[in-house]
């Protein structure tokens, strides 16, 4: 396979989501746990999901700055932010909103073009793929997919599940080709089709916002999240037999 941008056959390991988040999930352990709504069992995950076929070194490195910014933004989101507007919004510093938008766009693009571990999910980027590619690798200013952010703490019987990630996937409620990405209580939602309806509320659009105003939701039980129960059930099944297995530890990455 060759680099999808320039055709260079010397491709490198490109992480779909930055490896740093997998290390944060693992914490003091050697690995975290990965589970899916589409397959039984759990996998031990230390390195993260990567694809050796999509980018050369030059174009992989083009994403380093936005990945580094996104990692720091997520890691400090809760400690650096504060509740405003009677607790309805969460204000957080965002000195480089352009890099935050590029970070989310890059994670979505890598997930959408990679053929690694697609399971049965609809991950097609459609007409947005060439626009995203131009935005990320050609510094195009003609495409600026709108982004909103939310503080969304997921709990299980009232206990926060902080070390939790849902990889980029298509969401619902904001029109065609809208994607969501949940990282450690921070949820990003991006419209790849900026003209789909309903529109994002202007007050919450993050694209040029510093400070950024994120929605500040009440904690939500994981059982109320779509597909979460399917993931939970599959975690207790053996990958080979599909029969119940021992209770896995709670550190996990979900798809």
Task: List CB contacts of 155: < 8 A, sequence separation 6 or more.
Answer: 161, 219, 220, 221, 222
Residue 33 within a domain: no
Residue pair 181/168 in contact by the 8 Å Cβ criterion: yes
* Domains identified in the chain, total number: 1
Q: Which string of DSSP letters, residue by residue, matches 44-86?
A: EESS--EESSS-BHHHHHTTHHHHHHHHHHHHHHHHH-EEETT
3-state helix, strand, coil in the chain (%, to 5): 30, 25, 50
Asked, for residue 124, whether it belongs to a domain, the answer is: yes
In a domain, 18, yes or no: no
CA separation for the pair 94, 211 (Å, rounded) = 5
CB–CB of 137/250 below 8 Å? no
Domain contains 195: yes
On the 0-12 / 13-18 / 19+ scale of CB atoms within 10 A, 37 is: buried
In a domain, 42, yes or no: no
* pTM assigned to the model: 0.84
Residue ranges making up the domain that contains 213: 59-242
Residue 24, both tokens: 């944060």
Asked if residue 196 belongs to a domain, the reply is yes
In a domain, 147, yes or no: yes
Q: Is residue 91 part of a domain?
A: yes
- Average pLDDT for consecutive 10-residue bins of the chain (255 residues)? 95 93 76 52 65 96 97 97 97 98 98 86 92 93 94 87 86 90 95 93 95 95 69 50 54 49
pLDDT of amino acid 60: 97
Distance CA 86, CA 101 (A): 27
pLDDT of residue 153: 93
CA atoms lying within 13 Å on the CB side of residue 229: 5
Residues 175 and 141: their CA atoms lie apart, in Å, by: 23
């Amino acid at each position: 396979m060759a680099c999808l941008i320039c055709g260079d056959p010397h491709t490198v390991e490109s992480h779909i989501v930055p490896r740093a988040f997998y290390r944060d999930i693992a914490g003091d352990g050697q690995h975290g746990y990965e589970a899916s709504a589409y397959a039984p069992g759990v996998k031990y995950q230390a390195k993260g999901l990567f694809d050796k076929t999509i980018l050369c070194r030059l174009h992989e490195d083009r994403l380093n700055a936005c990945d580094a910014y996104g990692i720091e933004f997520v890691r400090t989101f809760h400690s650096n932010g504060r509740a405003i507007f009677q607790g309805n919004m969460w204000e957080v510093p965002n000195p480089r909103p352009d890099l935050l938008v590029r970070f989310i766009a890059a994670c979505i693009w890598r997930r959408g073009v990679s053929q690694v571990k697609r399971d049965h999910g609809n991950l097609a980027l459609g007409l947005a793929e060439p626009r995203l590619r131009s935005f990320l690798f050609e510094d195009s200013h003609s495409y600026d997919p709108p982004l909103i952010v939310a503080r969304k703490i997921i709990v299980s019987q009232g206990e926060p599940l902080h070390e939790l990630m849902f990889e980029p996937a298509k969401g619902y409620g904001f029109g065609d080709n809208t994607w969501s990405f949940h990282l450690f209580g921070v949820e990003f939602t991006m419209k790849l089709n900026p003209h789909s309806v309903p529109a994002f509320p202007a007050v919450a659009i993050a694209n040029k916002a510093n400070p950024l105003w994120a929605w500040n939701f009440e904690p939500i039980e994981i059982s109320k999240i779509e597909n979460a129960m399917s993931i939970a059930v599959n975690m207790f099944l053996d990958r080979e037999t599909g029969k119940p297995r021992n209770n896995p530890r709670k550190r996990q990455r979900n798809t």
